[in-house]
Every structure is written in C-alpha cells, then in structure tokens.
Amino acid sequence: MEPTEKASTIKVLDFTEYPGPRYKEQGDHSGELFYEKVLKPEFDLILKKSQDSGSLHTLIVNLDDTAGYASSFLDESFGNLAYDYSETVVKKHLKLITKQEPDWNDMIFDETLPEWDQKKKKGIPRKPQLLN
C-alpha cells in the first residue's frame, strides 16, 4: 500500500539492519525494544491523529530490506500492540509491507494479533514470570 496523506510509514531498517531476539536482555535491537522505542510511540501518534481529525489514519510498517527476522522479534513487537490496544484497533490502523517475506504478514495478522489479544483477555502477563 502506498502512503496517502492519512498514512504514515516507518521502516524497521531505520531502527536496525539486523533485527534481534525477542527480549532486550537476549541481544541488541530486540522486538521488545522496537516496540517501546518505535512502534508504540508511532501508533499512539496515529491514534491521536485519527481522534483529532475524526478520520482514519493508518501506520504502515515496512519490514523489507533488513537482514531478516526471528519470528519472536515480530511476535513481540506487534503482539504488544494487540495487548495494549486490542486486536480490532490494531487491525484497523496497521498495514505491513513485506514484499520479501509475505508470510510475515499472515503470521502477524492471523496468529500474533489474535493470540496476544486472547492473552490480555485471559489476564496472562505479556512476559513470562521467569523473564520479568
């Protein structure tokens, strides 16, 4: 999807060329860090714009041109969005560019978002107790 005036695009490549593991303590440029530093602030901004203007604003995240991903990096980044804002809200305001690995799009929208939404609804902590 090409950006319109109602969409903002961010690239994971601007965060790092070498996306790392799930948690910060496991290595550099983790999914957890990407969520906290980039994804959550950008998503907040999109929601604010939608609220202020009364029209739909979308965040487009470009996953291409990095070295690649562990599924856990993507699961932790985008899953936390669903945990904090719900699957419905995220699906409404999020689009992905994944030309190099189209399977990531399916994994995030069909598995990660519903699973994290369910986790929140069941009151399960976002991070296993052992790792907190």
Partner 1 sequence: MKKLTTKRKNYLRRRSKTELKKKKRDRQFRLNKIGTNSYLNQLSFQRKNIAKENKKPGSTIINLSPANTFSILESPNKVIAFIFRLKSYAKPNFSGYQLFIDLANVIQIDIGAISLLLSAVEELAQYKIRVTGNIPDNKNCNEIFIESGYLAHMNSLSSNLLKLQNNTKNSIIKKGRDTTRNSEVGKSIQSAMEMLTGTKKHYQPVYSIVQEISGNSVEHAYQRNSREHWVFSVNHNESENKIIFTFADNGSGILKTLRRKLTQQFFDGLGLKNDAAILNGAYLKNYESRHIGQINRNKGLPLLRRIQENNEVKNLFVLTNRVLLFLDSKKSISINRNFSGTFYYWELDLDCIQNGTN
Nearest in space to 76 (alpha carbons), one of 28, 20, 17, 13? 20
29 binds partner 1 (CB under 8 A): yes
42 binds partner 1 (CB under 8 A): no
In angstroms, the CA 132 to CA 130 distance is 6
Q: How many CB atoms lie within 10 A of CB 117?
A: 21
Give me the least distance between CB of 85 and partner 1, in Å please: 16
Give me the least distance between CB of 45 and partner 1, in Å please: 25
| Options 1, 6, 17, 53; binder of partner 1; rule CB under 8 A | 17
| Options 32, 35, 79, 87; binder of partner 1; rule CB under 8 A | 79
Give me the least distance between CB of 98 and partner 1, in Å please: 10
44 binds partner 1 (CB under 8 A): no
Chain centroid to CA 119: 16
103 binds partner 1 (CB under 8 A): yes
Q: Report the b/e string of 68-85 with b at 16+ CB within 10 A.
A: ebbebbbbbbbbbbbbbb
Query: Which DSSP symbol is given to 21?
Result: -
Given the rule CB under 8 A, which residues bind partner 1? 17-23, 25-29, 65-73, 75, 79, 100-101, 103, 107, 111-112, 115-116, 118-119, 122, 124, 128, 130-131
